[in-house]
């Protein structure tokens, strides 16, 4: 059983640029959620994808967008990067919709915007 993997692990971008982060969900999981964890804070929900459709969104601007692919892997795209976007970005996958299951997290991508 493969776990949740994210790439890249670290990334440095310049303000105003665009970034794409990638996530492979755990085998058998069809739901992927993205979280942003700023320094000293808990993870904050960005959005969730279920069977390639967005299924809930947190309080993040439209320049944060995502995709889920038929194999349930996912991308997080952030346009017009701002310094405050510097954070750890976590991907989590979970199993059956309609069942209360825990989310399994990847190791995260550390994004630094300079």
Partner 1 sequence: DQQVKQNSPSLSVQEGRISILNCDYTNSMFDYFLWYKKYPAEGPTFLISISSIKDKNEDGRFTVFLNKSAKHLSLHIVPSQPGDSAVYFCAASADFGNEKLTFGTGTRLTIIP
- Sites of contact with partner 1 (CB under 8 A): 4, 6, 31, 33, 35, 40-45, 48, 55-56, 58, 90, 92, 94, 97-98, 100-108
What is the closest distance, in whole angstroms, from the C-beta atom of residue 99 to partner 1 in the complex?
A: 8
What is the closest distance, in whole angstroms, from the C-beta atom of residue 77 to partner 1 in the complex?
A: 20
Rounded distance between C-alpha atoms, residue 36 and residue 74, angstroms = 15
* Closer residue to partner 1 (CB): 14 or 59: 59
What is the closest distance, in whole angstroms, from the C-beta atom of residue 20 to partner 1 in the complex?
A: 19
CA atoms within 13 A on the CB side of 21: 31
Rounded distance between C-alpha atoms, residue 88 and residue 37, angstroms = 5
49 to 4, 32, 59, 84: CA distances (angstroms): 15, 5, 16, 24
Q: What is the CA radius of gyration of the chain?
A: 13
* Closer residue to partner 1 (CB): 14 or 102: 102
* Closer residue to partner 1 (CB): 6 or 74: 6
């Amino acid at each position: 059983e493969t776990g949740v993997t994210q790439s890249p692990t670290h990334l440095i971008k310049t303000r105003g640029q665009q970034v794409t982060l990638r996530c492979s969900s755990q085998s058998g999981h069809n739901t992927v959620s993205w979280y942003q964890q700023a320094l000293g804070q808990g993870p904050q929900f960005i959005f969730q994808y279920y069977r390639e459709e967005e299924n809930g969104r947190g309080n993040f601007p439209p320049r944060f967008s995502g995709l889920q692919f038929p194999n349930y892997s996912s991308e997080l795209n952030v346009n017009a990067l701002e310094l405050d976007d510097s954070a750890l970005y976590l991907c989590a996958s979970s199993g059956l919709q309609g069942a209360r299951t825990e989310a399994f997290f990847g190791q995260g991508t550390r994004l630094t915007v300079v």
